[in-house]
Structure 1
Amino acid sequence: MTKPSFLPPTVLVISLGGTITMTPTTAEGAAQPTLSAEELLAAVPQLADTGIVVKTQSFTTKPGASLTFDEIEELAGQLRAMDGQSTFDGFVVAQGTDTLEETSYLLSLLYAGQTPLIITGAMRAPYLAGADGPANLLASVTVAANPRARGLGVLVVFNDQIFDAAKVRKTHSTSTNAFTAPDTGPLGTVAEGRLRLLAIPAHKPLPLSTVMTRPARVGVYPASLGDDGTLLAPLLEQVDGMVIAAFGVGHVPATWVPILQEAAQRIPIVLASRTGGGTTLTHTYGFDGSEKDLLDRGLIGAGHLDPYKARHLLTVLLRSGAHRDTILATFAPAGTTAEGRG
């Protein structure tokens, strides 16, 4: 259905909770998520000057750390059902920043609609000086309503910057400039109330199955100096898949090699870098525990995907019933550059 051009754009703002919704609820002034989506929008009177019609929905009220995979899957289902209708020109999801880099990527795997989907939040609660939630909401609604955002996949808008959900990282615990994209930088900015798009995401959303009927437990295990793998071995017996957050370009202690080789015969094990930027390699180093050694022993390279995003991709694949060949084929383009090189 096509919306008549003479009608103003309409954006749906969905609240999941998080700092952007928090107010002090204890005698000590500690904050908890309490505000509804409608109350969030009441703090942004400038929206009235944009000509955008804004609707609201309070999906849940939780801190970001307590959001679940099933809740994000349910939200994605609702968004898919609304995509393509003439009701909304864009969606904005406001949530806690603790898991925003993860939920935005997870949504990009589960929602491949043309209607823009923008994820945002706040680093400072509404009652604090310099609260950033209203500005982030205003910028997010502006981007969501812009036709140039259609078909770009899930975007994160924060501090007037626009990021690809597959690249964005939270890199500071308190700063209002907490979100960056170490490998690519922002795709654009919001200035003078307008979207200034400088680039587009290298990859379109992956056409993954949204029918997830199987349970799957996927872990992330970081490499650290002096870890001999004793703790890793029993953990591998309890999961359906594992992401190894390796040193550098994909290296682990040599003592891990037999443990990982044995486990890789039973479950998919993805090799990612713990560094937060750059890519895993494939054949530069050849010592025991190097990236080439581990890939030769059955591990799957994550490429540019960080360990947390790799975990969500593997989880979606396993819950959809994907076999090893499908997992390998999916991680290949997901972790490479636009030119297709790892």
Structure 2
Amino acid sequence: MAKPRIAVFALGGTIAMVKGEAGVRPGLTAEQLVAAAPGIDALARIEARTVSTIGSSDLSVDNVLEVARAIEAAVADGADGAIVTQGTDTMEESAFLLDLALRVDVPVVVTGAMRNPLSISHDGPGNVYAAMQVVTDPAVRREARSLGVMVVMLDTIHAAVDVAKMNSSRIDAFASPEAGPLGVIVEDRVRLTGRPVRDHKTALDAELGDTLLTGIEPPLPTVALLTMGLGESGGLVAAMLADPESFGYAGVVLGAMGGGHTPSWIAPQMDDLVARLPVVMAGRMQAGYVLAKTYERAGSEMDLLRRGVRSAGRLPPLKARMLLTAMLMGGLDQAAMDRVWAAAN
């Protein structure tokens, strides 16, 4: 039987670092990353392409959609799967955005490295090889549409909707804190142990209809992320209300405290903010659902919902921001957005 044909797209990041003057900088190509994983050619026919060589903190929504379009083109040309290598700083966001944008029936995996190639025990080659094991696995290929985009790090398979970077530098930085991983790789076997809940994706696709996010041209809307903390004054919200044109945001995600809370003195500002643009609250922690009917004090989830702030449900702020961005890109009205948010709750 012919080996599957897999497209590999490289975006730079720690996995692609080379020696610089004082530290390291991105520089390795997709071909070099593939060549560094011994035995990978036995798994697939590989077509490697370098999209960029930058740190993932410099990636934009446009960049991620460019990769999504490249994946669509590769699949239309007969590719059986795709791997994206990138930096880990924004991996959970870019993987989730790819999951929102793509409608393909082949597996797509995002991977990278926590240690650069000049480090002892560099994890990049092993992660690339593990990603290839996943995209070529028969069970994964059969269930690709339901699994959605995956992140593979340290022989662990995560759903894009659930994965989070939980540590700034440890090799085991990635986890799925709310739902747990989709599976693991043991020896030469991919063992799936779970399935992702992606009702928000189903709802988004239904509301978008024939509109594809990959077909939307720049300029794209941007969404502000305002994380609430002890003693937050609300000065940024006040500034946005006083001079909205200077800020230029099309929506706001509140990284809310607890089950969906802000300081009580900020809550009245939400009335004016909601009147101008979509405002969504998401728990600033990496796991847990936003509440809906427990606390009723000023600034609580019940108060914010009453004022028109929408709930991101199970999505943390970084992913709620990507979902709101996708809905704004698609031109959804508030009623359509509410149906998508309901699916995440």
With normalisation by structure 1, the TM-score equals 0.92
How far has the Cα of 1:270 moved from its partner? 0.3
| 2:72 is the counterpart of 1:80 | yes
- 2:153 corresponds to which letter in structure 1? F
Higher helix share: 2
Contact map agreement 2:17 2:25 (CA 8 A) in 1: yes
Deviates more, 1:55-64 or 1:145-154: 145-154
| 2:46 is the counterpart of 1:41 | no
Q: How many positions carry a matched residue from both structures?
A: 326
Partner of 1:115: 106
- 1:65 corresponds to which letter in structure 2? S
- 1:40 corresponds to which letter in structure 2? L
Distance in 1 separating the partners of 2:220 and 2:191: 42
Q: Percent identity?
A: 36
How far has the Cα of 1:81 moved from its partner? 2.8
Partner of 2:250: 240
Contact map agreement 1:246 1:274 (CA 8 A) in 2: yes
Partner of 2:15: 20
Distance in 2 separating the partners of 1:318 and 1:231: 22
What's the CA shift string for 1:172-214, capped at 9, x where partnerless?
0111100001101111001112210001111264414424346
Which of residues 294, 297, 314 is equivalent to 1:287?
297
- 2:160 corresponds to which letter in structure 1? A
Contact map agreement 1:212 1:316 (CA 8 A) in 2: no
Q: After TM superposition, which residue ranges in structure 1, 4 or more long, deviate above 4 angstroms?
A: none
- 2:74 corresponds to which letter in structure 1? M
Distance in 1 separating the partners of 2:124 and 2:80: 22
- 2:228 corresponds to which letter in structure 1? A
What's the CA shift string for 1:129-176, capped at 9, x where partnerless?
110000000000110112322222100000000001011000001111
Contact map agreement 1:17 1:33 (CA 8 A) in 2: yes
Partner of 1:251: 261
What's the CA shift string for 1:266-291, capped at 9, x where partnerless?
10000111011101011111111110
- 1:282 corresponds to which letter in structure 2? A
Contact map agreement 2:164 2:177 (CA 8 A) in 1: yes
Partner of 2:89: 98
Partner of 1:339: none
Partner of 1:126: 117
Distance in 1 separating the partners of 2:252 and 2:135: 35
Partner of 1:181: 176
- 1:146 corresponds to which letter in structure 2? D
How far has the Cα of 1:84 moved from its partner? 5.1
- 1:106 corresponds to which letter in structure 2? L
Distance in 2 separating the partners of 1:77 and 1:91: 12
Contact map agreement 1:104 1:119 (CA 8 A) in 2: yes
SS at match of 1:254: coil
Distance in 2 separating the partners of 1:84 and 1:330: 28
- 2:332 corresponds to which letter in structure 1? A
Partner of 1:224: 229
SS at match of 2:91: helix
SS at match of 1:98: coil
Contact map agreement 1:124 1:132 (CA 8 A) in 2: yes
Which of residues 282, 296, 313 is equivalent to 2:306?
296
Contact map agreement 2:99 2:160 (CA 8 A) in 1: yes
What's the CA shift string for 1:88-128, capped at 9, x where partnerless?
21100000000001000010110121110000000001121
Structure 1: segments with no counterpart, 5+ residues: 1-5, 337-342
Structure 2: segments with no counterpart, 5+ residues: none
Which of residues 161, 168, 173 is equivalent to 2:163?
168
- 1:292 corresponds to which letter in structure 2? M
How far has the Cα of 1:61 moved from its partner? 0.9
How far has the Cα of 1:83 moved from its partner? 2.7
- 1:112 corresponds to which letter in structure 2? R
How far has the Cα of 1:42 moved from its partner? 1.4
How far has the Cα of 1:248 moved from its partner? 0.6
Contact map agreement 1:10 1:55 (CA 8 A) in 2: yes
What CA RMSD, in Å, does the superposition of the two structures yield over aligned residues?
1.4
SS at match of 1:92: strand
